[in-house]
A = this chain, B = another copy of it.
Amino acid sequence: MSVKAAVLGYGVVGSGVVELFYKNKKSIEKRAGKEMEIKYILDLRDFPDSPFRDKLTKDFNDILNDDEVTVVAECMGGVEPAFTFVKSCLEKGKSVSTSNKELVAEKGDILLKTAKEHNCNFFFEASVGGAIPIIRPLHKCLAANDISKVAGILNGTTNFILTKMYNDNMPFDKALSLAQELGYAEKDPTADVEGHDACRKICIISSLVYGKHVYPKSVYTKGISDLELCDVESAEVLGYAIKLIAQVTHLADGRILPTVMPMLVSFDNIISGVSDVFNTVMVYGDGIDQAMFYGRGAGKLPTASAVLGDMINSVQHDNTVDSQYWESSSDDSFIASADELKGRWYFRLPAGTEFAGEGSYSSENGVSYVTEEELTFAEAKAKAVEMGALAFLPVLE
């Protein structure tokens, strides 16, 4: 008998899951080792012209109470009702794969625990980096490593905007409008440009790598909306691209330091070449030294590809718990303050400032340079005030 699946939410990602499933059904079944069928699609809207209209239901209970359904894809987004639906499915032993980063960042620990208790799987490869395989490689392939740092470009919208600022000298506002025109940015772009989306993703990575749930509210998050074009230009002259970097560092005392900030990335670092809507994740470990993952971080089929990969894995691991696991965290004492972030810093001082440092760049917009010494964020802030800096940004080390 074939495995019966359900898709919750028939928006961009959910419809992509259905489309890609039926396009590659034969090879998907070969890899899963069993025949598969999508039995239900949950959505409150009507899709009278959809070829899959006979699978559509508005009642979640149709899915929950159908014992034939053992594999579920959650593509609704948002915490509720997704959380309630996913938890109920897991409690019935149905494995769930999700693309919902908000859900995982807020409730991942609870859902992983529920899955484990009911001998099924909660997978979320699609929640970070879209099509890029990163969750499973971190969990499985790099499992032998002591991971010292993960740093990446985890938001395609801001990377598109930064690429336009860099390549075409387009100011932030204009680049954002273009991103909206092209459908890369939402009408309300706050979650992307202020870094909240990247923050959720680095929370998921941090929780996975260090084994304790990291909540978005514990992570210092700064977006790119007040980034000036002249800093992008100065950074280029100094040998850097500015990228919105979400990173987490493992400190010597065992605490972790996750941040989301625009950072200068040296042209010698391959991350600097990741442009447009592409995402990337760089992992630093004692075994691997460094490994990088790159691809489309969003979009209908790329995200669907990741959800389906997880669904196939659920079928392969029927009645075996293969999913990653992390503990709940009752406080955030294991998370260091962003003030402790240490590295070199970029400063732009007012034009005409007399400055004796080497390798500085002067223009009508000011005198820019990168410090040779490493400073903490707290020290850099104090220095910026002292020197009347017009801008200062960390360098990705």
- A interface residues with partner B (beta carbon < 8 Å): 20-21, 23-24, 27-28, 30-32, 125, 131-133, 136-137, 139-146, 211, 270, 273-274, 285-296, 299, 301-302, 304-306, 308-309, 311-313, 316-317, 320, 322
Give CA–CA (A145, B306) in the complex, Å.
9
Q: Is the CB of B320 within 8 A of A302?
A: no
Contacts of A293 in B (CB 8 A): 291-294
| Interchain Cβ contacts under 8 Å between A and B, 8 examples | A20-B286, A23-B286, A144-B305, A273-B273, A289-B301, A291-B294, A292-B294, A293-B294
Q: Is the CB of B309 within 8 A of A142?
A: yes
Q: Is the CB of A288 within 8 A of B296?
A: yes
Give CA–CA (A299, B305) in the complex, Å.
32
Q: Is the CB of B144 within 8 A of A24?
A: yes
Contacts of A296 in B (CB 8 A): 288-291
Give CA–CA (A132, B20) in the complex, Å.
27
Q: Which residue of B lies closest to A283 (CB)?
A: B295
The answer, among B139, B287, B294, B312, for a CB contact under 8 Å with A270, is: B294
Give CA–CA (A293, B137) in the complex, Å.
11
Q: Is the CB of A140 within 8 A of B313?
A: yes
- The answer to whether residues A302 and B274 also contact, given A28-B143, A143-B308, A292-B294 and a CB cut-off of 8 A, is no
Give CA–CA (A142, B302) in the complex, Å.
10
Q: Which residue of B lies closest to A320 (CB)?
A: B320
- The answer to whether residues A295 and B302 also contact, given A28-B144, A309-B142 and a CB cut-off of 8 A, is no
Q: Is the CB of B308 within 8 A of A287?
A: yes
Contacts of A270 in B (CB 8 A): 270, 273-274, 294
Give CA–CA (A72, B320) in the complex, Å.
23
Give CA–CA (A302, B288) in the complex, Å.
4
Contacts of A311 in B (CB 8 A): 144
Contacts of A23 in B (CB 8 A): 146, 286
Q: Is the CB of A291 within 8 A of B20?
A: no
Give CA–CA (A328, B45) in the complex, Å.
49
Given A131-B289, A289-B301, 6 more A-B residue pairs with CB atoms under 8 Å apart are A133-B291, A136-B140, A143-B309, A145-B305, A270-B270, A289-B296
Q: Is the CB of A291 within 8 A of B287?
A: no
Give CA–CA (A322, B313) in the complex, Å.
10
Q: Is the CB of A312 within 8 A of B143?
A: yes
Contacts of A137 in B (CB 8 A): 133, 136-137, 141
Expressed in whole angstroms, the minimum distance between the Cβ of A171 and any Cβ of chain B is: 24
The answer, among B24, B143, B287, for a CB contact under 8 Å with A286, is: B24
The answer, among B136, B143, B305, for a CB contact under 8 Å with A287, is: B305
Contacts of A292 in B (CB 8 A): 292-295
Q: Which residue of B lies closest to A309 (CB)?
A: B141
- The answer to whether residues A24 and B146 also contact, given A140-B136, A296-B288 and a CB cut-off of 8 A, is yes
Contacts of A287 in B (CB 8 A): 20, 24, 131, 301-302, 304-305, 308
Contacts of A290 in B (CB 8 A): 295-296
The answer, among B136, B139, B289, B309, for a CB contact under 8 Å with A295, is: B289
Give CA–CA (A322, B32) in the complex, Å.
11
- The answer to whether residues A133 and B144 also contact, given A270-B274, A270-B294, A305-B287 and a CB cut-off of 8 A, is no
Q: Which residue of B lies closest to A299 (CB)?
A: B289
The answer, among B136, B285, B305, for a CB contact under 8 Å with A288, is: B305
